[in-house]
Amino acid sequence: MQAVRAVVAALAIAGPAQAQLSIEITGGGANQIPIAIVPFAGETALQPGVTEVIEADLARSGRFRTLYTGPQNPPLNEATNVDLAGWRSRAADALVVGGVYPASGGRYEVRFRLYDVPKQVSLGGFAYTIAPAQARATAHRIADYIYEKLTGDRGVFSTRIAYVVKAGSRFQLQIADADGANPQTAIQSNEPIISPTWSPDGTRLAYVSFEAKKPVVYVHSLATGRRQAAASFRGSNSAPAWSPDSKQLAVALSRAGGTQLFLVTADGANLRRIMSSPSIDTEPHFSPDGQWIYFTSDRGGSPQIYRIATGGGGAERVTFSGDYNVSPRLSPDGRTLVFVTRDSGRFYVAAMDLATRQTQVLTDGGRDESPSFAPNGKMILYAADAGGRGVLAATSSDGRVKQRLSVPAADVREPAWGPYPAN
């Protein structure tokens, strides 16, 4: 929590908060868990109230259906002896009760308890002592707890996303909570910014900026707001990808002619070439175990995804169907490859099961690009087009649940979902 606060403070210096991303859910998942969240007692002391944030988080995941309960009489909280049999008749499979209580020094204690209604057992609870400004972050943590207890997967409600907003001729690299709240501008420029990517430790963003009238790769430290050119060689410098240990970047450089893959440390030292080819090699991406670098190459005549072992060896082709498969990204468990595929001149995000090589097209926008996995692998954030305007969209990894995130009167693009917060 302390780390998060430090980051927000530094970002606040960099620029004023921007128009917030608004989220619209455009699909629904199957087998949603019906959950009742009783409005937290005393939560009007906090802004926002925790109940609304928890409900929005769970609904957005597509894995829950929230049942409206309204205030209960007599009031229910985490200390109440709840009539679970009664809640069963109201079709709730899960019940959340809690309260917000004044604590010393202007702080508050937020307590909650989660129940499995059919089994009539408590699934535990938590108490947090917080400053009022931490209400939203605390609600995200409660949503993470509920999500993990009921689905078995870790929640991503406390994570953040980075993206680029183009408003007029101005480009802003912004960072917001995963629900679009608290947008902060890390850098703004009159020249384009593309390809932001989080260091796996969550402390830095690498990105490409054109402020020097050519692409240069920067590494930007979020806590300090300071940045450093990591690749600024003669020619073009682009497509940064972090190694899993956050120490190295794979980049695409044209310093030796063509567009070729290199490794460099995050501070720009120790440049090494990954391989030599007469083709375009770009969009490197490390597998989570660090054993492979996936990349896009046109060495076979059309752009396709290949991989090369980080320990050396030849490149191996991964995608075969269609004549345009680019932008490889691996799921956190390393089992699924998502990429952008072209079909009849339109672009979609597709997912390939690396074990079976079965591919499923997940999106239907036609101008979908830049996919990025949530750290739990359950959602994929990508850039899409809505009536000529750039928006962010997210799909569940099975393609069933869809969300759209947009900023009024601006283009939003180049999303990157950040890692779990370190705490």
Partner 1 sequence: MRKILLAATMTIVLAGCQSTPEADKPAGVEDRMGATTKPPSSATTQPVAPGSMSGNPLKDPSSILSKRTIYFDFDRDDIKVEFVPIVEAHGKYLRENRGAKMLVQGSADERGSREYNLALGQRRSEAIKKRLMILGVTEIQIESVSLGEEKPACVDHDEGCWYKNRRGDILYGGEF
State the minimum distance, in angstroms, from the CB of residue 38 to partner 1: 46
Answer for which of 270, 388, 409, 423 binds partner 1 (CB under 8 A) is 388
| Helix segments in 116-219, DSSP class H | 135-151
Asked if residue 74 has a cis previous peptide bond (ω within 30° of 0), the answer is yes
Answer for which of 213, 269, 270, 409 binds partner 1 (CB under 8 A) is 213
**CA angle at residue 153 from 151 to 158, to 5 degrees?**
110
Non-local CB neighbours of 339 within 8 Å, separated by 6+ positions: 305, 319, 325, 326, 327, 328, 329, 349, 350, 352, 371
Answer for which of 76, 230, 239, 263 binds partner 1 (CB under 8 A) is 239
- 411 lines the binding site for partner 1 (CB under 8 A): no
Return the number of the residue (363 or 370) whose C-beta is nearest partner 1.
Answer: 370
Binding mask 280-299 for partner 1 (x = CB under 8 A): x-xx------------x---
User: Can you tell me the distance from the alpha carbon of 312 to that of 310, in angstroms, rounded to the nearest whole number?
Assistant: 5
User: Can you tell me the distance from the alpha carbon of 393 to that of 370, in angstroms, rounded to the nearest whole number?
Assistant: 10
Phi, psi of 374 (to 5 degrees): -65, 150
Identify the DSSP state of 367: B
Binding-site residue total for partner 1 (CB under 8 A)?
33
- 229 lines the binding site for partner 1 (CB under 8 A): no
- 194 lines the binding site for partner 1 (CB under 8 A): yes
* 341-360 binders of partner 1 (CB under 8 A): 342, 345, 347
Can you tell me which residue has the tokens 């044209």? 254
> Starting at the edge strand that comes first in sequence, how are the strands of the sheet with 272-273 ordered?
237-242, 248-253, 260-265, 272-273
* 308-337 binders of partner 1 (CB under 8 A): 324, 326-327
Q: Do 235 and 253 contact (CB within 8 A), yes or no?
A: yes
- 235 lines the binding site for partner 1 (CB under 8 A): yes
State the minimum distance, in angstroms, from the CB of residue 173 to partner 1: 14
- 69 lines the binding site for partner 1 (CB under 8 A): no
Return the number of the residue (209 or 331) whose C-beta is nearest partner 1.
Answer: 209
* 134-193 binders of partner 1 (CB under 8 A): 192
Q: Could you list the residues that contact partner 1 (CB under 8 A)? A: 192, 194-195, 210, 213-215, 234-236, 238-239, 252, 254, 257-259, 280, 282-283, 296, 303, 324, 326-327, 340, 342, 345, 347, 369-370, 388, 414
